[in-house]
Structure 1
Amino acid sequence: MIGAVKAEVSKLVTLPSPAITVALTWAVTVLVRQADPPGGAVPYSQAGVLVLGVLAAGHEYQRGGQIRATLLAVPRRPLLFAAKTVALLVTAGPAVFVAALLAGEPGATGGLLLDLLLAAGVATIVRHPVGATAVVLTAYQIVVPLIRNGLPDVALPPAPVWSAAIIAAAAVTFHRRDA
């Protein structure tokens, strides 16, 4: 397990797209916080965290199919999925915490980490980074606010429930699907 986590961490820290996404998320968060009232920058941090989760989990499904080599190296899929999840939290967790601090809402770290896991789960299910990004950003920025504002008496399940359900579905999908 430790070897698989190390390999996944190594992959994540050497990819340029997550680092660029983190830098852009921090920059936009700082700019928006200067213009908006307290807490107004959190949705922008959230959008960056969602993209980060998709890029981190979906990079192996892009052209070239690196996922095949990963599965050859670690054929036990449940172990590999757990290693990928731990590696994502280890590498992106500090960046998410800094994003919450920059937004002026350090208490938002837990919610942003759940968003990160949910986005990674969607990317694992969809297996296409652009499609997964479209799904999570549309859901978070359009669908959920419409439901919340249009139907205020409808209670949405809390974020941990959504994240757990998506991660569970991603784990099952990852285990059963061909590379």
Structure 2
Amino acid sequence: MEQLVGLLQSVLGLTPRQGWTWLFAGAFILVLNAFAVGPFAQLDPAWVAIAALAAIFGGSILLVSLGAYFVGKATSGSEKRQAVRERENEWGHVNQEALRNLEVLSPAEQAALAWIVQSGQKRFRTDFFFNLEGNLIAKRIVLGPIGHTNDVYEVIDAVWDIRDQLKERYKAIQLKDEPPWSPYGQVGRYLPR
């Protein structure tokens, strides 16, 4: 349908503004003729037919333009919904991957995740390079750096949603006052949620 409407518009090369012009001109002449106003009262029937055709032509242009508008809106809405579905599927896959990766964490990674979960802050900031040997980020359990920063990180939603289970799982891990990834004893600063 979109191709048909586009073809009609491109072949005719007419815009809605031109459609309004043709419609109003033809309708104006027909109304003046019908009410016998001035010189339009004595119009030849051929001119009345031409005015009617002009009005019909203008109306046709407007209908095609209206069709193009609705087809464009429908197509745009469909593409947006498809993009949203694709993004949701992608994030669903990333979240599932993060949950599967929880089972293969090293003791150092478990300690780091336990510290993050115990802190109660999903999004956190640290002044030093947060790598944990790169594994929590590589395993997509922690995302970051977020945005245009180089020091803000966030725990992925699926992992954060089970933080109570993780607290229970990692309760045997002895946590210190400083994060386990701090090589210099600096404590990461946490942003309010």
**TM bucket normalised to smaller:** under 0.3
- Which of the two has greater strand per residue? 2
TM-score (norm 1): 0.27
- Which of the two has greater helix per residue? 1
Greater CA radius of gyration, 1 or 2?
Answer: 2
